[in-house]
Every structure is written in C-alpha cells, then in structure tokens.
Amino acid sequence: MEKYEVVKDLGAGNFGVARLLRHKDTKELVAMKYIERGHKIDENVAREIINHRSLRHPNIIRFKEVVLTPTHLAIVMEYAGGGKLFDQICSAGRFSEDEHRYFFQQLISGVNYCHSIQICHRDLKLENTLLDGSPAPSLKICDFGYSKLGLLHSRPKSTVGTPAYIAPEVLARREYDGKVLFQLYKK
C-alpha cells in the first residue's frame, strides 16, 4: 500500500468501499475495491479475482493487482473517470438513439468477449457499467463479484444479482446457461 496515496472515496456497497488512489511514482489514478478480511473473503472473492484478472478487453475495467493490508484485501483496477453510465443517463434524462447504440455496441462487445472465454458476469446492469474520462467516453464493464467461469465453476444456478435485473430463469431457480440467455436477448 505504500506505493499508493488515497485521493478520495468513490463509494460503498455490500462488499466494502471503493477509493480513488494515485500511484506515487507514476501518478496513475487507480480504483481500489477494499474487502474486509475474514468471512467476506470467500469463494466469490476468489472467483472474482481469478475471472477478472483473465479479462483483457477495451470495454472491461482492467484488473491490475491484489494488495493485502492487515485488515483488508484490496483489488486494484483501472479508474474510469466518467463515472457510472446509470448516473449519466439520470442526469441527461435520456440519450439519443445514436448515443444508445454507441454504448450498447460497446456493452455487447465486452459481454461477447467474456462469453468467448467462458466467463458469465451474472450482475450486468447500468450501475456496473462505467465510462472512462475521455471526451468520447468508452463504456467499461466492472464488478465481477458474481461472475462464473463455465469450465471451472459449473453452470450457474444460484439466485444472485440485483432483483430488478434478474432473468426469469434465475427467479424460477432453474439451472441456466448465461451465454444462451445472452444470445436470446441479443436478437
């Protein structure tokens, strides 16, 4: 942790807190997700780290490293200075069809990449899509806390994610193939 300095808090969730930090040598801004050590560090956190670190795509937040402190496990990631897509839509009121298309194509590109390497996000929503800080912002998928790797973690069958966004198959507690659902919804 000695190589980073805290800039500000970014937010909090069920997992813990996220902070904006600056690398002392390179001055690069990074986001750090802190998870309290103890019972919160479970197989889901291990799966998040394993799955996220294997992803290399322009529309997915870049995983950088894991840092252990005496009290927390911290996941260091690329910082997306444009904030959440959800907040952008709320402040704009609505997007034009061209803006929707621009962001949707990036979302589909990132999800398709995940599925091509057998990773299913399982909590995809506006709040888990960030924008980088560039003048023509790019969409970045984040938060792989509920993700599963098809080859290693079997097919998903648990009820996870945000209730308002859960697929009917999940609510019915039926085993499902996230990639097949994606293909159906993509049409």
Q: Please report the pLDDT score of residue 177 as a whole number.
A: 63
Q: Please report the pLDDT score of residue 183 as a whole number.
A: 55
130 vs 43, residue with greater confidence: 130
Architecture of domain 4-78: 2-Layer Sandwich (3.30)
pLDDT tens digit sequence for 69-102: 999 999 999 999 999 999 999 999 899 999 999 9
> Averaged over 100-116, what is the pLDDT?
96
Rounded Cα–Cα distance for residues 113 and 55 (Å) = 8
Residue 184 has pLDDT above 90, yes or no: no
How many CB atoms are closer than 10 A to CB 42?
A: 10
Architecture of domain 83-186: Orthogonal Bundle (1.10)
The answer to whether 123 and 86 have CB atoms below 8 angstroms apart is: no
The rounded mean pLDDT for the chain is: 87
> Averaged over 30-47, what is the pLDDT?
92
Rounded to 5 degrees, what angle do the CA atoms 13, 18, 20 make?
Answer: 155
Q: Which active-site residues does the annotation give?
A: 123
Residue 185 has pLDDT above 60, yes or no: no
Residue 153 has pLDDT above 70, yes or no: no
- The one-letter code for the residue type at 61 is I
Percent of the chain with pLDDT over 70: 85
> How does residue 182 score in pLDDT terms, banded at 50, 70 and 90?
low
Domain ranges of the chain: 4-78, 83-186
Burial of residue 74 (number of CB atoms within 10 Å: 0-12, 13-18, 19+) = buried
> Averaged over 167-179, what is the pLDDT?
68
